[in-house]
Amino acid sequence: NQHAWSNSLVTTTDSFWNEKRKSKDVYAVSDESLRSRVALLITNRNFANERLTRKGAEKDEENMEKLLRSLGYEVVKHNDLTAQVLHTFAEHPKLRDTDSVFVVIMSHGKREFVLGVNHSEENKDEFPVDNIYRHLGPQECPALMNKPKIIIIQACRGETGGSVLVSDSASDKVVCDDIVDDAIRYVHKEKDFISLLSSTPDTVSYRREDLGSFLIQYIAEVFNTCSHEDDIDELFRKVMQRFEEFPDNTKRQMPTKDRCTLTKRFYLFPGH
């Protein structure tokens, strides 16, 4: 193993901070924006159907909250939710001044959905993963335009659902014929996102009841050890690399970077 993984955050040097801040290839981070960072952390542990209880999820919540706080994010925490919550987060007053957001969702899941705690076969309580991108995209959340939005989902994707991805074109406004194109500024409806999902489509994610899920453990170790010099893309690659040394020879899990639309590098600048 190339690293001795750190339990606490290694901080960025002044010279690294000054060098990267001047680069056009790096998302803007300022002293002010660092103080306005905000993250959403959703942990579903206790389900209406007790057989679905996610033992060990409280450890994931603790690890993730500690990491996000150490990176300077105010953590908006929710537990045991049904499928409605991103609306209110999209209106958080700090989003105007933050340089980035993390949205971390830990629950059971299917291929395109995260499950709410009231879920049963008869009474589906499902949150489409697609909605995360819509609620935080420029149309519904202009405060986050051009800012990195980092999505981490710890949930199985172990059943192929019958859902399909559809475009939002049905809701497009018709523009009058006499308006010339360049009078309107279009932004892409989904930009500046990067997501790490805990497994590839149709596969399960593993969790230990004493230590929590492997994904969250590895994220904490990699971010603590490397975020002072690696951008978010590279951090996620190192997390994925950890799964090549999976502790159980009979089981395999591979996280997936998904829907990455970052156009620059995003550094967390820990300790600044």
Residue whose entry in the numeric block shows the structure tokens 């002010």: 32
What proportion of the chain, given as a percentage, has pLDDT over 70? Answer: 87
Helical (H) or strand (E) element with 212:
strand 212-213
The more confidently predicted of residues 158 and 223 is 223
Q: Is the pLDDT of residue 56 over 90?
A: no
pLDDT value of residue 210: 82
Interatomic CA distance for residues 151 and 104, integer angstroms:
6
Mean pLDDT comparison of 148-152, 188-192, 199-203, highest-scoring range: 148-152
Q: Is the pLDDT of residue 176 over 60?
A: no
pLDDT range class, residue 250, cuts 50, 70, 90? confident
Residues with catalytic roles? 108, 156
Segments making up each domain of the chain, as ranges = 14-159+189-258
Lowest mean per-residue pLDDT among 63-77, 92-106, 150-164, 219-233: 150-164
pLDDT value of residue 205: 82
169 within 8 A of 121, measured Cβ to Cβ: no
Residue-wise pLDDT tens digits, 83-93: 667 888 999 99
pLDDT value of residue 133: 93
CATH of domain 14-159+189-258: 3.40.50.1460
Q: Is the pLDDT of residue 165 over 90?
A: no
What proportion of the chain, given as a percentage, has pLDDT over 90? Answer: 57
- 72 φψ region: left (φ > 0), alpha (ψ -120 to 50), beta (else): left
Mean pLDDT, the chain, whole residue set: 85
Residue-wise pLDDT tens digits, 104-162: 999 988 888 898 899 888 888 889 999 999 999 998 999 999 999 999 999 887 643 22
pLDDT range class, residue 52, cuts 50, 70, 90? confident
Amino acid identity of residue 57, one-letter, is A
